[in-house]
Amino acid sequence: MTYRQIWGGVSAAALAIGLALAGGSAAGIAAEKGPAAVDAKRIIAADKEPGNWMTTGRTYGEQRFSPLKQITQDNVGKLGLAWSYKLDIDRGVEATPIVVDGVMYTTGPFSMVYALNAKTGELIWKYDPKSDRERAGEACCDAVNRGVAVWNGKVFVGVLDGRLEAIDAKTGQKVWSVDTRYDTNRSIAITGAPRVVKGKVIIGHGGAEYGTRGYITAYDAETGKQVWRFWNVPGDPAKPPENKAMEIARKTWTGDAFVVRGGGGTSWDSMAYDPDLNLLYLGTGNSSSWNPRIRTQGKGDNLFVSSIVAINPDNGEYVWHFQTTPMDPFDFTATAHIILADIKIDGKTRKVLMQSPKNGYFYVLDRKTGKFISGQNIIPINWSKGLDKNGRPIMNPEVEYWKDPERKPVLVQPAFWGAHDWQPMSYNPNTGLVYIPTHIMSALYQDVDGIPPRRKFKSVYQLDVNTGMMPEDPDGLRKYADTWSGKLMAWDPIKQQKVWEVPYSTIFNGGTLSTASNLVFEGTADGRVVAYAAETGKKLWESPANTGVMAAPITYEIDGEQYVTFMAGWGGAFATFAGPLSLRAGVKPNAQVLTYKLGGTATLPPLKYKYADRKPEAPELHATPQQVDAGRDLFNANCSPCHGINGISGGVLPDLRTLSAENHEAFPGIVMGGRAYNGMPSFAGELSPEEIENVHDYLIMRSHQLEKAMASGENLENYAPAGMSKP
Residue 232 lies in a domain: no
Angle at 153 between CA 148 and CA 156, to 5 degrees: 25
Residue 658 lies in a domain: yes
Residue 717 lies in a domain: no
Domain boundary among the residues 609, 642, 672 is at 609
d(CA 122, CA 115) in angstroms, rounded, equals 9
Residue 261 lies in a domain: yes
Looking at residue 481, its pLDDT comes to: 63
Parts of the chain with a pLDDT under 70 = 1-33, 135-138, 450-482, 646, 713-727
Looking at residue 459, its pLDDT comes to: 40
Residue 561 lies in a domain: yes
d(CA 658, CA 671) in angstroms, rounded, equals 16
Let me know whether 562 and 532 are in one domain. Answer: yes
Domain boundary among the residues 175, 201, 227 is at 227
DSSP-derived secondary structure letter, 269 = S
Q: State the DSSP string of 431-469.
A: TTEEEEEEEE--EEEEE-S-PPPPSSSTT----SEE-S-
Based on the number of CB atoms within 10 Å of its own CB, is 430 exposed (0-12), middle (13-18) or buried (19 or more)?
middle
Let me know whether 215 and 309 are in one domain. Answer: no
Residue 163 lies in a domain: yes
* Cα Rg, the chain, nearest whole Å: 24
Catalytic residue among 90, 101, 331, 473: 331
Q: State the DSSP string of 64-133.
A: -EE---SS-TTTGGGEEEEEEEE-SS-S---PPPEEETTEEEEE-GGG-EEEEETTT--EEEEE-----G
Rounded to two decimals, what is the model's pTM?
0.92
Looking at residue 288, its pLDDT comes to: 87
- Check if the beta carbon of residue 97 is closer than 8 Å to that of residue 640: no
Give the domain extent around 334.
Answer: 241-266+270-421+424-507
Looking at residue 25, its pLDDT comes to: 34
Phi-psi region of 343 (alpha: psi -120 to 50; beta: other; left: phi over 0): beta
CATH assignment at residue 169: 2.40.128.630
Looking at residue 197, its pLDDT comes to: 98
Looking at residue 419, its pLDDT comes to: 97
Looking at residue 709, its pLDDT comes to: 79
Residue 617 lies in a domain: no
Residue 87 lies in a domain: yes
Angle at 708 between CA 573 and CA 473, to 5 degrees: 40
Q: pLDDT tens-digit profile of 516-566?
A: 999 999 999 999 999 999 999 999 999 999 999 999 999 999 999 999 999
Q: pLDDT tens-digit profile of 429-476?
A: 999 999 999 999 988 888 887 555 444 444 444 456 666 554 454 444
Looking at residue 303, its pLDDT comes to: 98
Residue 328 is a catalytic residue = no
Q: Count of CB atoms within 10 A of residue 250's CB?
A: 16
Looking at residue 15, its pLDDT comes to: 40
Looking at residue 14, its pLDDT comes to: 40
Let me know whether 100 and 247 are in one domain. Answer: no
> How many domains, the chain?
4
Looking at residue 467, its pLDDT comes to: 63
Let me know whether 35 and 112 are in one domain. Answer: yes
CATH assignment at residue 703: 1.10.760.10
